[in-house]
Structure 1
Amino acid sequence: MKLVSMISLGCPKNLVDSETILGVLAGTGYVITSALDEAEIVLVNTCGFIKPAVREALETINRCIQLKKKGNCRILIVCGCLTARYGAERLAKLLPEVDGWLGVNPAPYILSCLERLLQRKGAAQGGTEQGEYPRLLSTPPYTAYLKIAEGCSHACSYCLIPRIRGPLKSREPESILREAAQLVAGGTKEIILVAQDTGAYGRDLPERPSLAGLIREICKLDGLHWVRFLYLNPTSLTPELIEILSNEPKVCRYLDIPIQHVNRDILRSMGRKGDALSYLQMIGQLRSALPGVVLRTTLITGYPGEDRKAFRELLDFVAAARWDRLGVFPYYHEEGTRSYRQKDDISYITKRRRARMIMRLQRCISRRNNEGLVGSTLEVLIEGRLGDNIWWGRSYREAPGIDPRVIVRGENLRPGMFVTVRITAAAAFDLIGVSL
């Protein structure tokens, strides 16, 4: 037996890759452990999208190198976006203590890599082939991510994803539906569809299947309670998608639509469409067509050329749009992107200050939005315990890992249970209620 432990960094899409690696290993006799210091084999699945992610990956790898020097670890393998971005040869020179380097989607290559290393024949490098592999879920059994596509064919100037993970490569609908059925049969109540841009799903396939059509088929699975999807480019919002959000009760009325900015010049420089007016119209139409819809976005501050006027336009837009959820990040000048050719003309201090200004405004908006929910009832998926008869969970309004929580007072509750909760109080981000 070989004890294997894994560290998964980055986004839910990366987490699915990690779960697939563990599923492959568990199915061939390896024993998975969460105790990193006990493992003989340590795997690190990295993110390499922006500088903080690269820094986190390198720090994590160095901690694991110390385990090789002092602990039970005999083999250290690093995979994922960091390898794809910088290359195994370059990284091997920087970190010779790492035994193997694999790229993105390493599941087809992990066994051969380990076999070669255990026989001391050297490391292997991986490609990007797709296939159907078992998964060992690391999420609670009632919630699972389901990756429907790999890569991205957009050409946003600040983004390395197409270079790291390649162009859009959608999975066949039959493959996705088989995996969805397996998840539900295993007790999954909430399926979260993920891709770089979920709305682009199927455009590269001959039959041109759509995201809405895929969701419609997934919703037919008995035992499935919620379906939600993340990361939707505004250009991918179709009438068919709005129709299924409106008419299918299993689909959470929750839309994650990263718009990045609203200044027309900056958006064109980013390689994106839209502007403040068109986005406000989109928000108004969605709220009219889908009562109760929760809208989330992501913004970037400090992109090259964002002067005070452009930032004020962004700030005014946030005040007018009243997003339910919002994340904001300072622009990182990443080598290899098209925007790297532009002058990084805004200091990091200014970028951070602008991001904090937006979040202060959003905090006020979120509190007012939450106060409007006091007295209403929500269906809540219980996920954890905070104290005697005090629990926390999520309604359709919250995606795991990125959104606030609903704090629930109630008896005889347990994780994985859906309960009706009357909202009695509102904090800036969290809601507070009592189970009925």
Structure 2
Amino acid sequence: MTKKINVVTLGCSKNVVDSEVLMHQLDRGGWKIVHNSNDPSARVVVINTCGFIGDAKEESVETILGFVDAKNRGMIDKVYVMGCLSQRYRNELEAEIPEVDGFFGVSDLPLIVAELNVKYNEAELNKRWLSTPRHYAYLKISEGCNWGCSFCAIPLIRGKHVSRPIESLVNEAKELAKQGVKELIVIAQDTTYYGFDLYGERRIAQLLNSLSQIDGIEWIRLHYAYPSGFPDDLIDVLKSNPKICKYIDIPLQHINTQVLKMMRRGISREQTIDFIEKIRKNIPEIAIRTTFLVGHPGETPEAFNELIDFVKDYRFDRVGVFAYSEEEGTYAAQNFTDSIPDEEKKLRVEKLMEVQQRVSFELNQLRVGHTYKVIIDAIEDHYAVCRTEFDSPEVDQEVLVKLNGKNVKPGEFHTVRIVEAQEYDLIGEFV
């Protein structure tokens, strides 16, 4: 019988890439792969964990315990754990959950491959077993982070920023295009810092231009762009290169200068506003996605209300909101008291999202009557589930288009007219 393995991926898109690299190695080594599956014939499970914030850690532990319970009941034979949680808490996890057959950190790919009796093939690290729909894929351009934000444990888990060479990334993107990928989603802990360690300067604009020359790639979108030190030549590329989506994900985290200082973000309120206005002046049609962190030590009610007003005034296309979670070893955990009650943090998250919901609805109303190029992600219940260039998969809104007998397939580009707007979705018709 063919060996079958279930790889379960938790956390962010960077983890998705790590799992896909692992799955390619295992696939070449004779394993039959299933991903995020309940397939009872997969007798071996690898869980790629997240250890970023409290809720993510809790989900990772609960997932491990669930598969350990299945192992104890004889439903599976082996359970392995890899990724961020395993990197950070391996000793504690080994002591608390001894039923796990092995724990592996974020850089232990050769070790887990060997554990599964597969010969590690370094020459094929730019090849992946895609777990996303075939028409889009994530491209991780660097590892780690140099910023040291007060609340973030990523540098403790994944180390300093390490860029991959442009040639290596272009080769990987070509391989993805051969598999049918049409949309590349460029990711890293900070994409705008890309290249500084290799070339002595930021080279994200050059990388995007190089990727845009690959046949078959039609859309390229940029995630996780740090606002401090944002390179001007990147604005030029976003503006002028037709393959680069008019979309950018910039985690601002806050707007109050004192809170930003305590967060160690390296930017003030005035600099943030100047930056946002500069991007919008140069690229008026751009969609900006951002995230905010509420409940950080030192966030007074007045500072939170300042953030509320900022979201009302600057009307971002997409917003995510998270509550502060104290993480061991971070600057905030060592220097501040987590004094804001969890219930108050939750209320601040809800209040900010209520404001954004109204903003999103108003912005969506402005799209009614306009036509857009969309990519089809799926066909569900007589509808095509689509996205414009202003939306990233999984995290942003969709355009639902009734098929009305039209024969279309996932991965195809079409033109639709928006006929109705909701808070977080659009309704369209094929043109």
**Post-superposition offset of 1:305:** 1.0
On the 8 A contact 1:150/1:168 being kept in 2, the answer is yes
AA paired with 2:363? N
Question: Which of 409, 423, 426 does residue 428 from structure 1 map onto?
Answer: 423
Mean CA deviation greater in 130-139 or 343-352: 130-139
CA distance in 1, matches of 2:114, 2:381: 47
Question: Which of 232, 254, 259 does residue 266 from structure 1 map onto?
Answer: 259
Task: Identify if the C-alpha distance between structure 1 residues 335 and 209 changes in structure 2 by more than 3 Å, giving closer, same or farther.
Answer: closer
Question: Which of 313, 330, 340 does residue 337 from structure 1 map onto?
Answer: 330
Question: Which of 93, 97, 108 does residue 110 from structure 2 map onto?
Answer: 108
Counterpart for residue 46 of structure 2: 43
CA distance in 2, matches of 1:14, 1:67: 24
AA paired with 1:188? V
| 1:40-63 deviation per Cα after TM superposition (whole angstroms, max 9, x unaligned) | 210000001111111101100011
Counterpart secondary structure, 2:275: helix
Superposition TM-score, scaled by structure 1 size: 0.94
Superposition TM-score, scaled by structure 2 size: 0.95
Percent identical among aligned pairs is 40
CA distance in 1, matches of 2:83, 2:222: 23
* Within-5 A mapping of 1:28-427: 28-33=29-34, 34-87=37-90, 89-115=91-117, 132-206=125-199, 208=201, 210-341=203-334, 342-388=336-382, 390-410=383-403, 411-427=406-422
Structure number with greater CO (CA < 8 Å, separation at least 6) is 2
CA distance in 2, matches of 1:327, 1:109: 36
Mean CA deviation greater in 187-196 or 208-217: 208-217
AA paired with 2:387? R
Q: What's the RMSD between the two structures over aligned residues?
A: 1.7
CA distance in 2, matches of 1:63, 1:364: 39
Mean CA deviation greater in 267-276 or 313-322: 267-276
On the 8 A contact 2:126/2:171 being kept in 1, the answer is no
Counterpart for residue 25 of structure 1: 26
**Post-superposition offset of 1:112:** 1.5
**Post-superposition offset of 1:209:** 5.7
CA distance in 2, matches of 1:214, 1:246: 15
Counterpart secondary structure, 1:235: coil
CA distance in 1, matches of 2:113, 2:200: 34
| 1:327-366 deviation per Cα after TM superposition (whole angstroms, max 9, x unaligned) | 1111111121110131111111111111111111111111
Answering whether residue 5 of structure 2 is matched by residue 12 of structure 1, we say no
Counterpart secondary structure, 1:380: strand
On the 8 A contact 2:139/2:184 being kept in 1, the answer is yes
Counterpart secondary structure, 2:320: strand
* Greater than 3 Å deviation, 4+ residue runs: 206-209
Task: Identify if the C-alpha distance between structure 1 residues 317 and 207 changes in structure 2 by more than 3 Å, giving closer, same or farther.
Answer: closer
AA paired with 2:133? P
CA distance in 2, matches of 1:108, 1:150: 17
Counterpart secondary structure, 1:85: helix
Task: Identify if the C-alpha distance between structure 1 residues 414 and 392 changes in structure 2 by more than 3 Å, giving closer, same or farther.
Answer: same
On the 8 A contact 1:23/1:133 being kept in 2, the answer is no
CA distance in 2, matches of 1:283, 1:386: 37
On the 8 A contact 1:36/1:42 being kept in 2, the answer is no
CA distance in 1, matches of 2:124, 2:204: 20
Task: Identify if the C-alpha distance between structure 1 residues 133 and 251 changes in structure 2 by more than 3 Å, giving closer, same or farther.
Answer: closer
Q: Which runs of 5+ in 1 are unaligned?
A: 117-125
Counterpart secondary structure, 2:106: coil
Task: Identify if the C-alpha distance between structure 1 residues 74 and 44 changes in structure 2 by more than 3 Å, giving closer, same or farther.
Answer: same
On the 8 A contact 2:53/2:325 being kept in 1, the answer is yes
CA distance in 2, matches of 1:206, 1:405: 38
Task: Identify if the C-alpha distance between structure 1 residues 430 and 369 changes in structure 2 by more than 3 Å, giving closer, same or farther.
Answer: same
Counterpart secondary structure, 1:234: coil
Q: Which runs of 5+ in 2 are unaligned?
A: none
Counterpart secondary structure, 2:415: strand
Counterpart secondary structure, 1:204: helix
Task: Identify if the C-alpha distance between structure 1 residues 324 and 51 changes in structure 2 by more than 3 Å, giving closer, same or farther.
Answer: same
Counterpart secondary structure, 1:37: coil
